[in-house]
Amino acid sequence: MRVALIAGLLGLIGSSAPVAAQDLIETKAGRFTAVSSAGDSALARHLIEAAAANDTFPGLPRPRAQVTLAIAESDAVFREWVGPEFPEWGVAAALPERQRLVMHGRRAGGEGNPLTVLRHELAHLALAEYLGELAPRWFDEGYASYAAAEWGRDEVLATSFALILRGPRTFAALDSEFTGGTTRATAAYAFAYRAVAELASLDRERGLAMLFRHWKERESLDAAIREAYGMTLLSFQERWASRTRRRYGGLALVADLALVGALMGLAVVPLYLSRRKRNRQRLETLRIGEELQAQRARESALDALLGETRSDSSEKRDGIA
């Protein structure tokens, strides 16, 4: 996530560092420097060594800027470094103007694979290093997800038919979704990822390389798309919206129907079990009633038999007398 960080982070390694950032350990690998508490030093080294070993990004020249990664040992420190305006659902932050990042440490509340999160944030920095501020929010976030191979973004679209139907129809509308709360932001990331992946698929051999080259030269995304792919930004936008609905709409509908079926099952099963119990009780009552009737019938037959026997004995005694 690309945000503006507070002054404390900007001076993290200098004398202006906040109290929470004192006594941090520096770890270096390639063009990366990590600062962390002693408890997160192993994580810091693992992250920057992995970053140095995989330091290229789709379609972009190899980055050269020095990057500082700050690892917060707790949620409180993370919030102090990123500032109060950072969204609650955010797990990491990037400051492209200073080539600095902030991530949660091993004891903080961050979610997701730390290597994937770092790769996402580094993609923001690499894109900004090459294009400056040319990239709109939807492309910036979509590219970071694409570079980090966050294929799980597609699952958001594949599991919500309603989301596909009401999703943003323009990239301008998509930009505003990133600040609309957790649910809307999650959907915005998914749509943005799909848009950048769709762009890359237009040139199977070079991917985004020609787009970036023309974009830097012309300073216009529309002009760059025309030069690289032979279509306008508007025509690509319409293609993206149509293909996304067509590709994921059916899957999402099936998923939604399956969910509805599961929910109905949860509602119906207790009713079924309750009815089955009542039926068992009713059958047991009928069985007991039938047994009582049979018993009374047997007793009546026995009484009748005994009555006839007593009558015959009486008649015989009367005859003898």
Instruction: Spell out the domain ranges in the chain.
Output: 1-133
Q: What is the pLDDT of residue 43?
A: 94
Q: How many helices and strands in the chain, by DSSP H and E?
A: 12, 5
- Percentage of the chain beyond pLDDT 90 is 45
State how far the Cα of 135 lies from the Cα of 148, in Å rounded to an integer: 17
Cβ neighbors of 278 (< 8 A, separation 6 or more) are none
For residue 67, list its beta bridge partners. 32
Give the global pTM: 0.72
Q: Is the pLDDT of residue 183 over 60?
A: yes
Contact of 191 with 244, CB cutoff 8 Å: yes
Contact of 256 with 160, CB cutoff 8 Å: yes
Q: 23 or 197: which carries more pLDDT confidence?
A: 197
- Confidence label for 167 from pLDDT (cuts 50, 70 and 90): low
DSSP string covering 287-310, please?
HHHHHHHHHHHHHHHHHHHHHHHH
- Number of Cβ within a 10 Å radius of residue 126: 27
Strands (E), 3-59: 25-29, 32-36
State how far the Cα of 72 lies from the Cα of 104, in Å rounded to an integer: 5
Q: Is the pLDDT of residue 107 over 50?
A: yes
Q: Is the pLDDT of residue 229 over 70?
A: yes
Helix pair 41-53, 114-131: axis angle to 10 deg: 50
- The DSSP output letter for 144 is H
**Considering the chain, what is the average pLDDT of its residues?**
79
Amino acid letter for position 288: I
Q: Which CATH number fits domain 1-133: 3.40.50, 3.40.30, 2.40.50, 1.10.357?
A: 3.40.30
pLDDT in tens, 120-130: 999 999 999 99
pLDDT in tens, 280-311: 777 667 677 666 676 676 667 656 666 655 55
- Confidence label for 169 from pLDDT (cuts 50, 70 and 90): confident
Q: What is the pLDDT of residue 53?
A: 97
Average pLDDT in the 254-258 region?
40
State how far the Cα of 171 lies from the Cα of 169, in Å rounded to an integer: 7
State how far the Cα of 135 lies from the Cα of 59, in Å rounded to an integer: 14
State how far the Cα of 245 lies from the Cα of 164, in Å rounded to an integer: 6
Average pLDDT in the 3-28 region?
54
